[in-house]
Structure 1
Amino acid sequence: MPLLEAKHLGIAFGGLRALEDVNFQLEENQIMGLIGPNGAGKTTVFNLLTQVYQPTEGTIELEGKSIIGKKTYDVTRGGIARTFQNIRLFKDISVLDNVRIAMNYQMKYSALAGILRLPSYWKEERAMTERAMDLLSVFNLQDLAESKARNLPYGQQRKLEIARALAASPKVLLLDEPAAGMNPTETHELMESIQLIRDRFSISILLIEHDMSFVMGICQRLVVLDYGRIIAEGSAEEIRTNPKVIAAYLGGE
């Protein structure tokens, strides 16, 4: 059974059909890329997977169970976390607190323990901080834990956003253009980090990206969208030589 599966997924906004008959499967511990020209519907797929949008047709299943109709926060708690095209950090709080804040719903101490600062409160707070620092160390951000998020360079802000998504303990991580705006060195480091978190945390990753060298170098499988429909699916080599994909990106019959 696939970890995440979309079946005949579609959505229309008024008379505009943005996605139609989208089918794909994400397996456990797999890195899969969702690519296509601008406006192909890639971010719309992410918004459906996280239930920001409700599909007008089709289903989405996580571990064999439908997530259609759930609230976005319930989808996150159920195991799907994401990042965004535009970085959405809490820029006026610390790097550490940006990660810690994503763990709040996992805390088990009572409101009374929090108000009175009982031992159970301090125990869980210490554990949360240790885990947040562990996640920051994956991206070499641990020495910047007390810095404000806004003071980080762009590439490090991108990494912080991924670390915060990981703090929700997802089974599936959705990365929306994670390498956007990065220089070649940062992009290479990000590729290594994504492979590390897949292996270390045993999670599956679905990513949108326009940097083809990044996609071809990291993804085990690719799905190609054009005008809201899947036009190709396969390995990096199969996609690289697919005539429909070449036409979609470069124009032609």
Structure 2
Amino acid sequence: MRIEARALRMAGRLSPSDFAAGEGELIGLVGPNGSGKTSFLRGLAGITGEADRLCIDGEPLCSLPPAARAHRIAYLPASRLLEWPIPVSRVLRLSPSPVEEDSVERMVAHLELEPLLDRPSNALSTGERGRVLLGRALALEPSVLLLDEPLANLDPYWVLKVTDLLEDAAAGGTTIIAALHDLALVGRFGRLLLMREGQIIADGKSEKVANEPLFAATFRLHGAAPSWTL
């Protein structure tokens, strides 16, 4: 499975750019606040912005009906809002098309959601909501998974646990692009995109990109990974 965007852009946010990712890539998306990471993910998800061509495996995203689209591409926004007073067990199954029960049960086990299943989703902590919404996205078994700050508001155990889960999903063939702020974790991602002022200014293997002078300069840091200083 391959995702392609040709001349992806968003008024006032993204400069026109081309992007492609192959099956099973685990990609970290980094850049200073306001660099365009969220706009980039939303553009790839087809939520906002425009592209001359936005395709998954050669098929235009706009041509897919909602049920098929749900299993091709899933997007987890940085907001962890869940305002509905419905139980977590229902949230995990919300989808335009049926979700495999085995897949839901796997996510419940992996993300240790069993104690939360009967709780109202709007009564959870921010970190708990993040786990629930990630579980819902993964339960769809999408070909492409777009994650905006999936590790935010998680304690150290869950940061490592979720990172392991993303690595496993990528190994199974899911293409994952995740916006990150914790630069100490970029080495867990095979490919790294560096953004600044609405543009991708570096794209390559994480170790190479993170050690380029451009990387440190973009974040106004000195040195090289992982020992940056102010």
The TM-score range, normalised by the shorter chain, is 0.7 to 0.9
Q: How does 1:165-244 map to 2 (within 5 A)?
A: 165-199=137-171, 201-214=172-185, 216-244=186-214
Answer yes or no: is 1:29 the counterpart of 2:24: yes
Structure-2 separation of matches of 1:92 and 1:229: 39
1:62 to 47, 56, 59: 56
Q: Which amino acid aligns with 2:59?
A: K
Count of matched residue pairs: 222
Residues 74 and 88 of structure 1: CA distance in aligned 2, closer, same or farther (over 3 Å):
farther
Superposition deviation, residue 88 in structure 1: 3.4
Q: Contact 1:81/1:173 (CA < 8 Å) preserved in 2?
A: yes
Q: Which amino acid aligns with 1:144?
A: L
Superposition deviation, residue 221 in structure 1: 0.2
1:159 to 125, 131, 136: 131
List runs of 5+ in structure 2 lacking aligned partners.
Answer: 223-230
Structure-2 separation of matches of 1:98 and 1:135: 12
Structure-2 separation of matches of 1:220 and 1:72: 32
Aligned-pair Cα RMSD in Å: 2.5
Structure-2 separation of matches of 1:66 and 1:149: 34
Q: Contact 2:71/2:140 (CA < 8 Å) preserved in 1?
A: no
Structure-2 separation of matches of 1:155 and 1:9: 32
- Which residue of structure 2 aligns with residue 89 of structure 1? 82
Structure-1 separation of matches of 2:18 and 2:82: 32
- Which residue of structure 2 aligns with residue 112 of structure 1? none
Residues 170 and 193 of structure 1: CA distance in aligned 2, closer, same or farther (over 3 Å):
same
Query: Which whole-Å deviations, capped at 9, do the CAs of 1:163-219 have from their partners, x for residues lacking one?
Result: 1112333100111001112232221122122223333x53111111111112x1321
Structure-2 separation of matches of 1:230 and 1:172: 19
TM-score, with structure 2 as normaliser? 0.85
List runs of 5+ in structure 1 lacking aligned partners.
Answer: 108-127
Q: Which amino acid aligns with 2:159?
A: T
- Which residue of structure 1 aligns with residue 7 of structure 2? 8
- Which residue of structure 2 aligns with residue 133 of structure 1? 105
Q: Which amino acid aligns with 1:8?
A: A
Q: Which amino acid aligns with 1:61?
A: C
Q: Percent identical across equivalent pairs? A: 25
Q: Contact 1:35/1:209 (CA < 8 Å) preserved in 2?
A: yes
Residues 196 and 156 of structure 1: CA distance in aligned 2, closer, same or farther (over 3 Å):
farther
